[in-house]
Structure 1
Amino acid sequence: MSEKILVTGATGFVGSALVERLLSCQEKQVVALVRQKEVSFPTEVLVSVVSEKGEFAELSFDDVKSIVHCAARVHIMNDRSVNPLADFREVNVKFTLDLARRAAEAGVKRFVFLSSIKVNGEETSPGFPFQADDIPAPVDPYGCSKMEAEQGLRRISEELGIEVVIIRPVLVYGPGVKANFRSMMNWLDKGFPLPFGAIQNKRSLVSLDNLVDLIITCLDHPGAANQIFMVSDGEDVSTTDLLIKMGNALGKPARLIPIPSMFINVGAVLSGRRDLARRLNGSLQVDIQKTRKLLDWSPIESLDEGLVKVAKDFRSGSN
């Protein structure tokens, strides 16, 4: 009998790609936990529905060996919530821990939790990447909620014996990517001159295929049990270099003006966009040596290869 893998957030950016990849594994059967009954999946996927309040009393864990928990209230720029931390905790902490406890009590062996690099913090000094076992230092409510979920999962693991695997992705890109990444592709495609030609930061990114490949590795690998892993493409780039690579993938050479980062920072502060300036000028690197060593894992595609896929999807106009 095929083992069942329960995937939450199965309609999301990462979850949908994970479901598609799992369907190619003949020895695995996918159970998708979703909020809307009308969501369409291939006939091979079993579908369970969670209520808007996060209730899943009717969910059966029969024959479920592992859970990949992708569902989350994601980080929102300019969040207008009256109490963002409470809202993040309701989904990212309470729902996560309720699900994990129910799963552990039902005999599920492993719980793979898609966390966030924001548990470590917002920025690194160039050449000093975040490590998987660093002391957490989240800054915003989203990062705090992910940290609290991680801590709760470890307590449940100690109490009930379920194996917990925590993955902290950096910025994920791939076909269907939205937000700032897609905006940059739009700027490049239209040939806009951009004032980002002299940025000397270093940032780690991870392609969607690399992240999904690591998740699947963590489902079965004995060395993954009760560990925290960083994940990236294994190649850190400056914003300037990233834009050049994106332009090459699009076939539209980037038109970059070498404006010093200091002036970009000043302009961002004056326009109330300090967070955007940090993303453009700041460094955020992760060290994936632990991931490579414990799991004998390496990224299956390079940054350039991942960008070609994004560019092809962008050109297809599918989003």
Structure 2
Amino acid sequence: MTQRVLVTGANGFVGKAVSRALLQRGDTVAGLVRRAHTAEEGVREWHFDAADFQGIEERWPTDMQCDAVIHLAARVHVMRDTIADPPTAYRATNVSGALRVAAAARRAGARRFVFVSSIKAVGESSTGRPIAETDEPAPTDPYGISKLEAERALTEYGRSSGMEIVIVRPPLVYGPGVRANFLQLMSAVARGIPLPLGAIEARRSLVFVDNLADALVHCATDPRAAGETFHVTDGRDLSVSELARALAMQLHAPARLVPVPVGVLRLAGRVTGRSAAVDRLVGELRLDSSHICERLGWYPPHTVEHGLLETAAWYRATH
């Protein structure tokens, strides 16, 4: 059965993939964006740029009913935040803002609210076994803390209002249009720059953007998803060295990976004040994504190899 779905952050990296997946299903899609004329073709664009979604209920278009919301818009993690009070800024957008969207959407007829959280709501690393949805969260930065607070606030709102809340925690998302660290790695590999990654064996979970989009569509439409929290991955974890080699193959570039001992990398991180960045590079962060498979019968439609092939093809065409 087709639905009317509102996607917040519809012009973003994940938002565009989600919009395409919904349109392909035959759903009616509205996209809330901060910049006009940036959503996918076929999406009814709603330009809304008020800070932290203030006034969204009053400004909700009278002719725009919806059955479900996929909430992607957020204040995202930034490496060197220059704002004076990051925790308050994250909380204002990611907690208060999300609650405003949920309440306004419920008044417009939405029965379900899919909140795209982050594995950072649980922590930055796994130790010996993948992180499950039932593990005790221990976020370490203002972004992760705000995402966990939003999960809990929305769950409570769902209990009191009857709205069905679904929480999805992805790890690092990659695909055509990817930015930040993944793009930097791909750029370095493409240029044949020697990288000190050859000795890193710790594995990290990833999710291809079209796999995540497919999972989010299921979360918005499957009755069995109501009230659940899901970790979503490609189902196969790679070490950073394996990822770099796979990218090199898809980019038709040499994999110049120098086997620098992990202890040396950690020391270099401490000396340069970049310990957190090095920890993310050399540390394990695996997610157990079996719950969504068992509960919804969902499996990633694309392999890691396909995801990296699509990402590399985009990079070669645009850089």
Q: What TM-score does the superposition give when structure 1 sets the normalisation length?
A: 0.95
Q: Which runs of 5+ in 1 are unaligned?
A: none
Q: Does 1:230 align with 2:231?
A: yes
Q: How does 1:149-188 map to 2 (within 5 A)?
A: 149-188=150-189
Q: Indicate the residue corresponding to 2:249 in structure 1.
A: 248
Secondary structure (helix, strand or coil) at the match of 1:214 reads helix
1:51 offset after TM fit, Å? 3.2
1:143 offset after TM fit, Å? 0.4
Rounded to whole Å, the distance in 1 between the matches of 2:47 and 2:187 is 36
Q: Does 1:10 align with 2:10?
A: yes
- 8 A contact 1:202–1:238 mirrored in 2: yes
Residues 187 and 65 of structure 1: CA distance in aligned 2, closer, same or farther (over 3 Å): same
Q: In the TM superposition, what whole-angstrom CA distance separates every residue of 1:141-200 from its partner, at most 9, and x where no partner exists?
A: 000100111111111111110101100000000001111111111111111111111111
The number of equivalent residue pairs is 315
- 8 A contact 1:68–1:114 mirrored in 2: yes
Q: Indicate the residue corresponding to 2:23 in structure 1.
A: 23
Q: Indicate the residue corresponding to 1:50 in structure 2.
A: 48
- 8 A contact 1:104–1:161 mirrored in 2: no
Rounded to whole Å, the distance in 2 between the matches of 1:304 and 1:8 is 29
Q: Indicate the residue corresponding to 2:85 in structure 1.
A: 83
1:2 offset after TM fit, Å? 5.6
The range that moved more, 47-56 or 241-250, is: 47-56
Rounded to whole Å, the distance in 1 between the matches of 2:170 and 2:66 is 25
- 8 A contact 2:16–2:39 mirrored in 1: no
Q: Indicate the residue corresponding to 2:190 in structure 1.
A: 189
1:278 offset after TM fit, Å? 0.9
Q: In the TM superposition, what whole-angstrom CA distance separates every residue of 1:247-298 from its partner, at most 9, and x where no partner exists?
A: 1111113111111100011011111111210111000000011111001011
Q: Indicate the residue corresponding to 1:36 in structure 2.
A: 35
Q: Which runs of 5+ in 2 are unaligned?
A: none
Q: In the TM superposition, what whole-angstrom CA distance separates every residue of 1:93-136 from its partner, at most 9, and x where no partner exists?
A: 1110011122224431100010000011011113x111012121
1:52 offset after TM fit, Å? 2.5
Rounded to whole Å, the distance in 2 between the matches of 1:193 and 1:35 is 39
Moved over 6 A (4+): none
- The one-letter amino acid paired with 1:37 is A
